[in-house]
């Protein structure tokens, strides 16, 4: 019988998102590829410390504990094969033996391998790779490696928080806001309150998490998924967001309509294993409190005209 990843939640992740390779990366960024490879070779038997997305990966893989392989994590990295050996050894050392697949491209674009993997999430510290993955239609985020790492107070819950516009939903409403300001945005969303928003780049991930939750509950798994919408929207623009989720037949556990308040402290109380947002300011605020990733797509991330 052929091996397949069909029906699984497939997460593709770079080595820097999974482990703390910041010291090694500084050597690489100085332009000395050979020194980088040699450093990784010297540290083959030294497990790398967990990185920003480690907690998310570890908890998702716990859905496989009952024997059913529902989650697949694949390392998808610009690293060379020698560095890849250290990644796998680090996985084993930190109790992630189920991370068994990896693609190491030695500097070439890795995102093209998302298609054969059928990935529902790509996490990388490389902004160009994230942009290309989003352009190809895959949920992707640039991991802020300076983020605070997740705590261990919720060992049996995978907690994930999402921004709304340009993340779960399309950037349709954000385009109205960018063009006409808050009043135009509020009027637009009030007029279209009964009309669901088009899908955003992370809708496929949310749907996959919903399926994983249902399958885990049916099998008696102790693991659970808790999701939250954390958005700058406020009433009356909240209604369209809620109606959109209802039309998808997907329920989020929490929704925070913050009306422009900084998101970081609210996220600190939710304690997510990861937070996704398209606005750089919100991501930077969040990273002071929780693991965070920038969804580098949508109108908010387009180059702005000079003087804008």
The residues that are catalytic are 163
Question: Which of 26, 37, 123 lies closest to 79, judged by CA?
Answer: 37
In angstroms, the CA 171 to CA 174 distance is: 5
In sequence order, the 6+-apart residues with CB closer than 8 A to the CB of 299 are 166, 171, 174, 175, 178
CB 50, CB 13: distance < 8 Å: no
Question: Which of 7, 8, 96, 80 lies closest to 40, judged by CA?
Answer: 80
Angle, helix 33-42 to helix 81-93, in steps of 10 degrees: 30
In angstroms, the CA 258 to CA 234 distance is: 6
Distances in Å between the alpha carbon of 237 and those of 52, 173, 214, 255, 298? 33, 10, 30, 13, 19
In angstroms, the CA 200 to CA 140 distance is: 12
């Amino acid at each position: 019988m052929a091996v397949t990843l069909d029906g699984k939640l497939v997460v593709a992740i770079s080595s820097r998102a999974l482990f703390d390779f910041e010291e090694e990366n500084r050597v690489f960024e100085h332009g000395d590829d050979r020194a980088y490879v040699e450093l990784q070779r010297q540290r083959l038997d030294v497990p790398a410390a967990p990185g920003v997305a480690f907690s998310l990966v570890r908890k998702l893989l716990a859905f496989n504990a009952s024997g059913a392989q529902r989650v697949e994590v694949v390392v998808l990295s610009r690293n060379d094969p020698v560095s890849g050996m250290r990644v796998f050894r680090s996985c084993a050392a930190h109790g992630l033996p189920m991370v068994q697949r990896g693609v190491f491209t030695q500097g070439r674009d890795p995102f093209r391998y998302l298609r054969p993997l059928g990935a529902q999430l790509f996490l990388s510290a490389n902004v160009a790779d994230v942009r290309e993955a989003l352009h190809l239609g895959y949920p992707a985020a640039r991991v802020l490696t300076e983020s605070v790492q997740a705590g261990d107070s919720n060992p049996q819950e995978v907690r994930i928080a999402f921004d709304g516009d340009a993340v779960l939903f399309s950037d349709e409403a954000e385009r109205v806001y960018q063009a006409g300001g808050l009043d135009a945005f509020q009027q637009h969303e009030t007029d279209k309150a009964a009309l669901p928003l088009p899908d955003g780049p992370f809708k496929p991930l949310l749907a996959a998490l919903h399926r994983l939750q249902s399958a885990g509950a049916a099998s008696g798994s102790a693991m659970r998924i808790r999701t939250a919408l954390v958005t700058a929207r406020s009433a009356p623009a909240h209604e369209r967001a809620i109606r959109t989720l209802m039309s998808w037949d997907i329920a989020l556990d929490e929704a925070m309509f913050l009306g422009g308040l900084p998101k970081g402290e609210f996220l600190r109380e939710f304690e997510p294993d990861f937070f996704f947002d398209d606005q750089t300011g919100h991501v930077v605020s969040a990273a002071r409190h929780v693991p965070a990733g920038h969804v580098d797509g949508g109108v908010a991330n387009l180059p702005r005209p000079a003087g804008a």
